[in-house]
Amino acid sequence: MRHTLRFTFSLFVLLCSFGLRAQETKATTPATDSIKTSRYGLRVGIDALKLSRAFWEKDYKGLEIVGDYRIAKNYYIAAEIGNENKTVDDEQLNFTTKGTYIKAGFNYNAYENWLDMENLVYVGLRYGVSSFSQTLNHYTVYNRDHYFGDQPEVVSGQKYSGLSAHWGEFVAGVNAKVFNNIYVGFSVRFNKLFSNNKPDNFDNLYIPGFNRTYDGDFGVGFNYTVSYFIPIYKTKQKVAVKK
């Protein structure tokens, strides 16, 4: 009986010792490595906001093509090119702006994706150039003395061609992958006009690509994009993942 108890106790101690060693080995097992794949390529799309705007704003037509190319882990070369045709009915005048524009710069992605995710939360800068024309449809002569009533409307139809503008943009936005290679994004832009070739008789109150001017040289813009990613090559790196 005594030998049996001694054998049982020794077996119990041995099993406990083995269990503690197994727990220690498990606790000190290093984290396993997982492979993170990063894709590099060209993303091309359209501004759906400008495209749909013609359906709910009768005096507007526009199209903008957007694109970016990943050059480093968090950096992308980005550009937009488009055209706009907009009629503005202001308090004193009615005019139509037609023209094309191009904006180029870069984005910095501040979002740290997990494994194979490819979403973006970014900020960026653009330099924009626009070439356009203004057609003065009709205007009303401003009368400071309201005793004589409003002045009659003057039909003009005069066209001013060869106008141009240069500006800078600060961009902040998001871009999320919703399906395989399909992305949906939104961005807001704050614009500062650098140079502006104006007509002789009135100011450029609307500039294609820049949008409506406020205080002469400040503007705000938005876009809502749908784009497709064209992969060109991939890179892989090991990422430590706790077991």
User: Which residues partner with 129 through β-bridges?
Assistant: 102, 166
Decide if 128 contacts 169 (C-beta within 8 A). Answer: yes
pLDDT digits (tens, 9 = 90+) for 117-129: 889 999 999 999 9
Distance CA 41, CA 230 (A): 6
pLDDT score at 236: 77
> 0.85 cut: is pTM over it?
no
Decide if 40 contacts 74 (C-beta within 8 A). Answer: no
pLDDT score at 203: 83
Q: Name the residue with tokens 């004193």.
A: 92
Q: How many other CB atoms are found less than 10 A from the CB of residue 136?
A: 19
Rounded (5°) CA angle 54-139-208: 35
Tell me the mean pLDDT in the region 13-17. Answer: 42
Domain boundaries, the chain: 31-241
- Spacing of C-alpha 53 from chain mean position: 18
The Cα-based distances of 104 to 33, 141, 152, 166 in angstroms read: 39, 40, 45, 12
pLDDT digits (tens, 9 = 90+) for 134-175: 998 887 766 655 555 555 566 667 889 999 999 999 999 999
Where is pLDDT greater, at 239 or 23? 239
Decide if 75 contacts 68 (C-beta within 8 A). Answer: no
pLDDT digits (tens, 9 = 90+) for 194-207: 999 988 777 888 99
Indicate the CATH number of 31-241 among 2.40.160.20, 3.40.605.10, 3.20.20.140, 3.40.50.2300.
Answer: 2.40.160.20
Q: How many other CB atoms are found less than 10 A from the CB of residue 58?
A: 8
Using DSSP bridges, classify how beta strands 182-196 and 120-140 pair: parallel, antiparallel or unpaired.
Answer: unpaired
pLDDT score at 239: 62
Q: Who's near 213: CB < 8 A, 6+ residues apart?
A: 193, 203, 204, 205, 206, 207, 219
